[in-house]
Amino acid sequence: MHGACQPQTPVHPFVRATIDQEELRNVDAKMLLIPAVASAQALTVPPLVVGQPAALAVTGASPGAQVGWYASLAGPGAGPCAGAVCLGLASPIQVLGTTLADGSGSASLDLVVPDNAPIGPVSLQAGAMSGPVGARRIELTQVVDTEVLPLSSLSDDFESGVLGPAWTVLHPQLATISFVNGSLRIVPTAAGLPSIWYQDGEGPLVSQRIRGDFTVTTRALAHDPSGAAPPVSYRLGGITVRNPDDTVPGTHDFVHVAVGSGDPTHPFAVEHKITVDSQSTYAFDSVPFGPVDLRIVRTGDVFELSFKLPADASWTPSATYVVPQMPATVEVGLMAYANASPIDLQVDFDAFDLSP
């Protein structure tokens, strides 16, 4: 894996070690024990997706308590005990890490679910140890039963008519976002710089944060309000991959593949574009008016852009960009923009498909 796909800050691995009955007996030596009695503590677990970051959270612990985080692929059950208190997880139990609760009794653990984590059920529990040696107070959270999900679980067919919690909207004031006949529709509400994806400008983007390598595809139809091709020039929509860390003017990095009206020589076309440090380069491939499948494949620092018509059997390469500026975790999503008024552009996306 290329360097750009390594974590930017240290995170706990999803599974670091296992804990057994003998280790549980040695509370003070190991400081890893969190067996349990009922308490006001609560554990929150976000969706666990292979290869993706996840932040576990505990509330209600004693301020300054040492919090241990545990998981079991065997599910809930009568776990190892220390005295009269026992973990609520079936053995083998895996140690995710230990952290300290803050002054409000809250603690968190940032981890990355490994690429080779088994898809399926997993149970998690956390607990806090506080008090002086010889008078330890040990409290457990509830057991949370959840699943390790594949990357494809972040795909969306938009049939629900709502955006799920994994989605965010960049610059929501620059577009109207709706659902029409099972498709996501983005309609820009502002035209020209700085409200378009060019140079130091950024348009609207409906995106998710994705870590590591991926393939993303969509089928996009760019049209005017009457359903005809949008007028020339530069009214497009498609897939954008953006560096979320570049918030200072002059530092924006993104790549995109989009379809819509190009220039007078390419009245309807697929556009491929790279922007590094807010300097953009782009080109067009003419296509007939209608829906077009778009794809970006990330492998480390390399981004391969391609397209095909719905009747085509294979993808047509559009561009390959090497972008070492991209971090491990990027924003990946759908966008639309118009370079001039009247905007005369609506872009319908029938799905957002993710795979490793």
Give tens-digit pLDDT for 165-183: 999 999 999 999 999 999 9
C-alpha triplet 338, 215, 304: angle, nearest 5°: 70
Residue 301 and residue 4 in contact, taking contact as beta carbons nearer than 8 Å: yes
Distance between CA 337 and CA 328 in Å, rounded? 26
83: pLDDT confidence band, cut at 50, 70 and 90? low
Phi, psi of 158 (to 5 degrees): 65, 10
Helices (H) and strands (E) in the chain, counts: 2, 28
pLDDT, position 242 = 98
Look at residue 52 in the predicted model and tell me its pLDDT: 97
Residue 345 predicted with pLDDT over 70: yes
How far is residue 35's CA from residue 156's CA, in Å, rounded to a whole number? 39
Over the chain, what is the mean pLDDT? 90
pLDDT at 85: 73
Q: Which two tokens stand for residue 268?
A: 């309807």
Q: Can you tell me which residue has the tokens 């390419």?
A: 266
Rounded-to-integer distance, Cα 89 and Cα 146, Å: 13
pLDDT tier at 39 (50, 70, 90 boundaries)?
Answer: low
pLDDT computed for residue 322 by the predictor:
98
Q: How far is CA 208 from CA 65, 150, 154, 242, in A?
A: 34, 15, 8, 10
Q: Is the pLDDT of residue 4 over 70?
A: no
* Confidence (pLDDT) at 27: 34
Domain ranges of the chain: 3-149, 152-355
What local confidence, expressed as pLDDT, does residue 210 receive? 98
Which pLDDT does position 5 carry in this prediction?
30
Answer for the pair 209, 244: CB distance below 8 angstroms, yes or no. Answer: yes
Query: Can you tell me the mean pLDDT for 288-315?
Result: 98
Two structure tokens written together for 176: 């109207």
Residue-level pLDDT at 24 = 42
Asked whether residue 212 carries a pLDDT value surpassing 70, the answer given is: yes
pLDDT tops 90 at residue 36: no
Confidence of residue 15 (pLDDT cuts 50, 70, 90): very low
Distance CA 315, CA 308 (A): 5
Q: Which pLDDT tens digit goes with each residue over 230-256? A: 999 999 999 999 999 998 999 999 999
* 160-169 per-position pLDDT tens digit: 999 999 999 9
Residue 142, pLDDT score: 95
DSSP letters spanning 219-237:
EEEEE-TTSSPPPSS-EEE
Q: Give the CATH fold of the 3-149 domain.
A: S-adenosyl-L-methionine-dependent methyltransferases (2.20.130)
Q: In CATH, what is the architecture of 152-355?
A: Sandwich (2.60)
> What's the N-to-C CA distance of the chain in angstroms?
13
Mean pLDDT of 6-27: 39
Residue 32 has pLDDT above 90, yes or no: no
